[in-house]
Amino acid sequence: MGTLEVFQHDEARCIWPARAELGEGPFWMASEGALYWLDIKGRKVHRLTLDSGARESWETPLRVTALAPRKQGGFIAGTEQGLAFYEPRTGRLERLLNPEPERTHNRCNDGKVDPAGRFWVGTMDDHEESPTGALYRFDAAGHLARFDDGYTVSNGPAFSPDGRTLYVNDSPKRVTYAFDLSADGVPSRRREFLRFEAPHGFPDGMTVDAEGGLWIAFYAGGCVRRFSPDGAWLAEHRFPVAKTTSVAFGAPALDRLFVTTARDGLDAKALEAQPLAGGLFELSPGVRGVAPVPFAG
């Protein structure tokens, strides 16, 4: 068991007080020197150029819940109506498929690209009540496969640096699952990797560092925590807002950790106490991330 390090609020810096309703989905675009992130409920894609500090935002035609660059340009997106190819600057959205047309109250949620270039996305009950969500893999050939089911709000996913372990959260259950992941992208041996109590908040978006550490943002927990590959709780970085939602390593050296937050559901008193809720934060984690891979399709 490692020694737990706790870092206080002043270590996390708000670099964009965007007042996002539901900030989510940050990812680093090395080719642009920019960090992208989403406001799902506010229907926006945000882009921050690190060198200049320039900020750009685009409205989305649907709720975009996950976004990742494509090898051939543009982005693949998870939306409230399924998967799509999307270009924020022009607003062009090419619908691909709805993985669950029979589950009318479901929508896509978090999604990430694995080291082999496959896009993984989870679905969820849009009312956050029923375990109707599932986990999917979409490959460059356009094949979609469902691999796990019974999620109320799927979050993550994240992949170990060697690509052999897949992590997925079911946020309302306060559980992080781990799977073995084969070279051809088939998950197996699902097990409960972490389980949290109510005071911890809800495990939300996550990423891994180059040492295999798993970083999880805790919605209603006001923090980001780091865990070792064997599940030891190593560090906690506290924030001046309650709803920390997702994390991504960025900057040319991948040595900065960017954290999205939300303000949805906060009443007037809570918003007065948390004026930076919905902002984009950064911290210096002391470790480097893993270079993201574009979707191969």
Catalytic residues: 204
Distance CA 58, CA 50 (A): 18
Average pLDDT, the chain: 96
pLDDT of residue 6: 82
* pLDDT beyond 80 at 114: yes
Question: Which residue type sits at 286?
Answer: G
Phi, psi (degrees; rounded to nearest 5) at 278: 90, 5
Could you tell me if 209 and 235 are in contact, meaning their C-beta atoms sit under 8 angstroms apart? no
**Confidence at residue 194, expressed as pLDDT on a 0 to 100 scale:** 98
pLDDT tens, position by position, 207-255? 999 999 999 999 999 999 999 999 999 999 999 999 999 999 999 999 9
pLDDT, tens only, 46-101: 999 999 999 999 999 999 999 999 999 999 999 999 999 999 999 999 999 999 99
Residue 7: per-residue pLDDT? 75
Domains of the chain (ranges, CATH numbers): 5-283 (2.120.10.30)
H-helix or E-strand spanning residue 271: helix 268-273
And the tokens for 161?
A: 């640096």
Cα R_g (the chain), whole angstroms: 17
The reported pLDDT for the residue numbered 11 is 83
Confidence of residue 10 (pLDDT cuts 50, 70, 90): low
Token pair 């106490």: residue: 273
176-188: per-residue pLDDT in tens? 999 999 999 999 9
> Which among 253, 147, 155, 163 is positioned nearest to 208, based on CA atoms?
163
pLDDT given at position 268: 96
CB 165 within 8 A of CB 114: no
Which pLDDT tens digit goes with each residue over 124-167?
Answer: 999 999 999 999 999 999 999 999 999 999 999 999 999 999 99
Q: Consult the annotation and say whether 107 binds a ligand.
A: yes
pLDDT of 3 > 80? The answer is no
Separate counts of helices (H) and strands (E) for the chain: 1, 25
Non-local (6+) Cβ contacts of 104 within 8 A are: none
Ligand-binding site membership of 80 (annotated): no
pLDDT at 1 over 60: no
Q: Is 106 annotated as a binding residue?
A: no
What's the average model confidence in pLDDT over 32-50? 98
Pairing mode, strands 223-227 and 214-219: antiparallel
Phi-psi region of 211 (alpha: psi -120 to 50; beta: other; left: phi over 0): alpha
Mean pLDDT of 259-275: 97
146 marked among binding-site residues: no
Q: How far apart are CA 243 and CA 230, in angstroms?
A: 26
